[in-house]
Chains A and B, each alone.
Chain A
Amino acid sequence: MDASTAFAPPVKPPSGGGRNLHRFANPGRFLRLSGRVLPFVALPGLVLTLAGLVWGLLFAPADWQQGDAVRIMYVHVPAAWLASAGYAALAACSLSSLVWRHPLADLAALEIGPVGAGATALCLATGSLWGKPMWGAWWVWDARLTSVLVLFFLYLGHIALTRAFDDPARGARAGAILALVGAVDLPIIKFSVDWWNTLHQPATITLTGAPTMYLGMLWPLFLSALGMTLGFVAIVLARTRAAVMERRLRTLLATRARQEAGQEAGQEAGQEAGGIA
């Protein structure tokens, strides 16, 4: 049988402005393209992350007040950036799923969720490990920390909700709505340190001014942030590829089982499909 018939919802040729988005909607094309791109994302991600962290851990100078505890920043700041950026990507996938019914957006959102939750957990854990020796407290309920904790719970809620329905499409719909509603937390996280007084320090790197950080600390931070971002993208790509192939596998097995039930043919193939399922 032809593999292209196995994809559940059939991709209709879209018209107008949606055409560009839907060029990458075909799962077969996504698999080919992502397979080609993946090594060029994963390898630089690994190399840059290691370079940034080794530089930050061993060669960057200690801070005049924080001492060596400043080195936690090289993990914490990229994790915080990825927690927010990952959620923005989740919201973008949800938007294109709800509005344009993009066939890959639901799968991508399903796979971004746990990775983003991991980044948020890393951000919270490393922040806590920095806060204890520097501030004198593992945790405080200021606006920045609380809004990031809310982000973590939004991720967990999305993970649970998308997997709570028997019908994956309904789970994806519910998850997409949650993701879009939760996106209101992103500007709150970003501006919490400016809108309210918090224990957490305001942004060091801003769009408007020069970073208030020594260049010898900024470079390793930049490398590890770039590397971890590429690593995040690579992990999401790999998981989405796996999800597309798993869906194709389920569809193939279901189609095959239906055919066999109808024709009562091919003992051999039946054993194969049964053994794998």
Chain B
Amino acid sequence: MTHLTYIIAAYGVFAVIAVWFSATSWTRMTHARKRLAAIDPRASR
């Protein structure tokens, strides 16, 4: 494969950004749901 370092760098940047946004949004959502359920079970759903 030609230009392999550039290709790896590009896909690497994508992987870092995609995983970071997915992981933070997911943990934020589950965290908020758990805290809400702990305070008021009716409000969390």
**Interface residues on chain B, size class:** 20 to 34
A104 at the interface (CB under 8 A from B): no
How many residue pairs bridge A and B at CB < 8 Å? 99
A161 at the interface (CB under 8 A from B): no
A276, B38: Cβ atoms under 8 Å? yes
Distance of A118 Cα from B6 Cα, bound (Å): 19
B7, A72: Cβ atoms under 8 Å? yes
Q: A118-B21, A126-B14 are in contact. Are A68 and B43 (CB under 8 A)?
A: no
A130 at the interface (CB under 8 A from B): yes
A95 at the interface (CB under 8 A from B): no
Overall SS of chain A's interface: helix
Distance of A245 Cα from B28 Cα, bound (Å): 10
Taking the nearest CB of chain A, how far is it from the CB of B12, in angstroms?
Answer: 10
A231 at the interface (CB under 8 A from B): yes
Q: Which of A6, A75, A132, A246 has the most CB of B within 10 A?
A: A75
Taking the nearest CB of chain B, how far is it from the CB of A53, in angstroms?
Answer: 7
Distance of A231 Cα from B19 Cα, bound (Å): 11
Taking the nearest CB of chain A, how far is it from the CB of B34, in angstroms?
Answer: 10
Distance of A276 Cα from B31 Cα, bound (Å): 12
Contacts of B22 in A (CB 8 A): 231, 235
Minimal Cβ-Cβ distance residue in B for A58: B1
A122, B14: Cβ atoms under 8 Å? yes
Contacts of A69 in B (CB 8 A): 2-3, 6-7
A248, B36: Cβ atoms under 8 Å? yes
A62 at the interface (CB under 8 A from B): yes
Contacts of B45 in A (CB 8 A): 31-32
B32, A246: Cβ atoms under 8 Å? yes
A119-130 to B contact mask, C-beta < 8 Å, 1/0 = 001100110011
Contacts of B21 in A (CB 8 A): 114-115, 118, 235
Taking the nearest CB of chain B, how far is it from the CB of A130, in angstroms?
Answer: 7
Minimal Cβ-Cβ distance residue in A for B29: A242
B1-27 to A contact mask, C-beta < 8 Å, 1/0 = 111101101110110011011100110
Partner among B6, B33, B42 whose Cβ is within 8 Å of the Cβ of A3: B42
A242-275 to B contact mask, C-beta < 8 Å, 1/0 = 1001101100110010000000000000001100
A189 at the interface (CB under 8 A from B): no
Contacts of B33 in A (CB 8 A): 245
Q: Which of A79, A133, A238, A241 has the most CB of B within 10 A?
A: A238
Distance of A32 Cα from B43 Cα, bound (Å): 11
Q: A130-B10, A133-B3 are in contact. Are A3 and B43 (CB under 8 A)?
A: yes
Distance of A272 Cα from B20 Cα, bound (Å): 32
Chain B residues in the interface with A (C-beta under 8 A)? 1-4, 6-7, 9-11, 13-14, 17-18, 20-22, 25-26, 28-29, 31-33, 35-36, 38-40, 42-45
